[in-house]
Amino acid sequence: MIEEMKGELWPLLTKVKRPVRYVGGEWGGSSFKTDRSGSLVRMCLAFPDVYEVGMSYLGFQILYALVKTLDFADAERVCCPWTDMEEEMRAQSAPLRSFESGRPLCDFDVVGVTLQYELCSTNILTMLDLGGIPIRSSRRGDSDPLVIGGGPGALAPGPVEKFFDAFCLGDGEAVLPAALRALSEVKGRDRSSRLDALARVPGVYIPGKSGAPVRRGIVERLDEDFVHRTMIVPNGGVIHDRVAVQVFRGCTRGCRFCQAGMTDRPFRERSCASVALQIEELLKYTGWEEVGLLSLATCDWRPLGELLDRLGPILAPGGIKVSLPSLRMDAFSVELASRLEGMRRGGLTFAPEAGSERLRRVINKGIDSSDIADALDATFKHGWDRVKLYFMMGLPTETDQDLEGIIEIANEAARRAKAHKRRGDVSVSLAGFVPKPHTPFQWEAQASREELRERGRSVKSRIKSKKISLSYHEPDQTFLEGVFARGDSSLGDAIEEAWRRGARFDGWTECFDFGRWMDVFRDLGMDPESYASRERSLDEALPWDVIDTGVTKNFLARERRRAKLGETTGDCRSGDCNACGWNAPDGAAGRCCGQWRA
């Protein structure tokens, strides 16, 4: 099979950009398991974006390593081919094959697709079609693989559910092994029997088959569950080229715009000893020279200082750097960053999100003007010359005064850099706000494309300092993201039609064609504005109500009311329980998710 794959693949590699995307054979990529009995469940993990994006996604690496440990299943991988490779594959009638064995996708038992971003939907159809799998689940027969979705997009699956047989909800480590075991027990049986087996697995949602809202699965004790000890080292450069280790899951700060902060509860952290051991093992296995400590807010991880002290003697001799993916905008976070050699390259990145203290209270960001000033002072005091500031525009209740505050913060950064005799380059990035499912703002109307474009231009025109640069995200892409973020199953028709008309890689500016999408909506008699720009009522049935994330609708509605009043909600790790819906693992009354430990 591998020889057959090579015979098809090698002539194509000379005709495409970045052929390293397709060859496989990386260090750490295990060979496929021999299965003389035919009892293994063959799964191909499919990432609907290019190789360098897929191989930077930690979840992809974790699930691959996890399935490799199971005695009843095996995992292989594939990523979406770029448009040049797709064209060559179609010209040569070459199917999309896995990296490991060269098996066409249609020959697997399961194809597991990561749903990471709304604008990757057409890439899913590309992969299924090139892999020889009918793109609609209703057209698949007994000999076709089951196509299962996972990742954050699975928590609001409506727009893509016509293309999937099932969805694994929540932590893959908690749901996927049970799903694969259930399939191993019915391997070789008809499609209906396999779906029935999946339907009985907690955390699995099957469109049209599951009854009451399906609760997402979680890993309760991170130190005691599966911890990956290996990683695949890509053959070429990828976006995040490093050892990646997760230090906690969940977040209790309660930013009202943040989907991950709401849907990844309860808060669960790992111990310093567990993280340190994993880092040591991964560095020895991979040879990487950088470690990324990942979470929604790594500076909130209590043992962080202890870990840095513990790893110092190990990392320093090898010149190994440690980096944090995000910094909270306060002096404490900057002080932590100053201890990390890996953070001394380039500048620091912060996300104030909103320009005024009033609007930061609305979104429950939890930082005030003094936090911002202290963080900027600490940044330039410790020798950094550049800062990047992320903001959103189009937030609920936003006014022109809030937008003016963005300029004031950027100017303040430039002034404080000058006071510390630093170069002080300030980069401002503006993204349009998208109301996401399962958040307190899920009912809000999204600002129109025209409004977002006007606000972005207005802020940019008022930047006078040469030290400040500003860019804003393309409003057309933001609009389409909003359509698919809160859409229902009827959007599947639009996705398929846009794909048939050539839509690919819509998250990439060079491929995105907004006019094509609007033509599709018009021809199908669909109004995309009804999904993005319409405010929902609190008693309206929402397409994602079929999924239970663990956070109640009552809590989300209460947070929305508090947002309208400009009232903040405290972090339940340091105060009272906010009654979001999660309990401690023993179900004890009065213990909230913020008190859940390793």
- Predicted local confidence at residue 596, as pLDDT: 52
- Give dist(CA 166, CA 154) in Å, integer: 9
Locate CATH 3.30.750.200 in the chain. 343-490+526-555
CB-based contacts of 91, cutoff 8 Å, min separation 6:
none
198-219 pLDDT, tens digit each: 999 999 999 988 778 999 999 9
- Predicted local confidence at residue 588, as pLDDT: 42
Q: Which tokens is 460 given?
A: 């940019």
- Predicted local confidence at residue 318, as pLDDT: 84
Note whether 455 and 394 are within 8 A (CB). Answer: yes
Q: What is the mean pLDDT of residues 71-86?
A: 97
- Give dist(CA 49, CA 79) in Å, integer: 6
Q: Which tokens is 244 given?
A: 């990646």
Q: Which tokens is 401 given?
A: 């005064």
- Give dist(CA 146, CA 121) in Å, integer: 18
Helices (H), 287-428: 304-315, 331-338, 357-362, 369-381, 400-419
- Predicted local confidence at residue 575, as pLDDT: 75
**Average pLDDT along the chain:** 92
Q: Which tokens is 141 given?
A: 């027969």
413-460 pLDDT, tens digit each: 999 999 999 998 999 999 999 999 999 999 999 999 999 999 999 999
Dihedral angle, C-alpha 82, 88, 94, 99, nearest 10 °: -40
DSSP class of residue 7 equals: H
Q: Is 27 helix (H, G, I), strand (E, B) or coil?
A: strand
| 276, pLDDT greater than 60 | yes
| 237, pLDDT greater than 90 | no
- Predicted local confidence at residue 361, as pLDDT: 98
Give one word for 251, left, alpha or beta, with left for phi > 0 and alpha for psi -120 to 50. beta
- Predicted local confidence at residue 598, as pLDDT: 42
Count how many residues are written for the chain.
598
% of the chain surpassing 70 pLDDT: 95
Note whether 442 and 498 are within 8 A (CB). Answer: no
The pairing of strands 248-249 and 290-294 is unpaired
Q: Is 468 helix (H, G, I), strand (E, B) or coil?
A: strand
- Predicted local confidence at residue 499, as pLDDT: 98
| 586, pLDDT greater than 80 | no
Q: What angle do CA 576, 582, 583 make, to 5 degrees?
A: 75
Phi, psi of 75 (to 5 degrees): -120, 140
- Predicted local confidence at residue 264, as pLDDT: 94
- Give dist(CA 263, CA 223) in Å, integer: 21
Bridge partners of 391? 353, 430
448-468 pLDDT, tens digit each: 999 999 999 999 999 999 999
- Give dist(CA 43, CA 32) in Å, integer: 11
- Give dist(CA 156, CA 174) in Å, integer: 19
% of the chain surpassing 90 pLDDT: 79
487-527 pLDDT, tens digit each: 999 999 999 999 999 999 999 999 999 999 999 999 999 99
Rg, Å, the chain Cα set: 24
- Give dist(CA 393, CA 455) in Å, integer: 7
Q: Measuring CA to CA, how many Å separate 221 from each of 37, 69, 212, 293, 556? A: 35, 19, 27, 18, 26
Q: What is the mean pLDDT of residues 10-21?
A: 90
- Give dist(CA 559, CA 540) in Å, integer: 17
Q: Give the number of other CB atoms < 10 A from CB of residue 329.
A: 26
- Predicted local confidence at residue 294, as pLDDT: 92
DSSP class of residue 591 equals: -
Q: Which tokens is 233 given?
A: 């080292």
171-203 pLDDT, tens digit each: 999 999 999 999 999 999 999 999 999 999 999
294-351 pLDDT, tens digit each: 999 898 899 998 998 898 888 888 888 888 877 889 888 898 888 876 666 568 999 9
Q: What is the mean pLDDT of residues 280-292?
A: 93
| Residue of higher predicted confidence among 7 and 109 | 109
- Predicted local confidence at residue 592, as pLDDT: 58
Fold of 343-490+526-555: Transcription Regulator spoIIAA (3.30.750)
Query: Comparing C-alpha atoms, which of 176, 293, 188 is closest to residue 240?
Result: 293
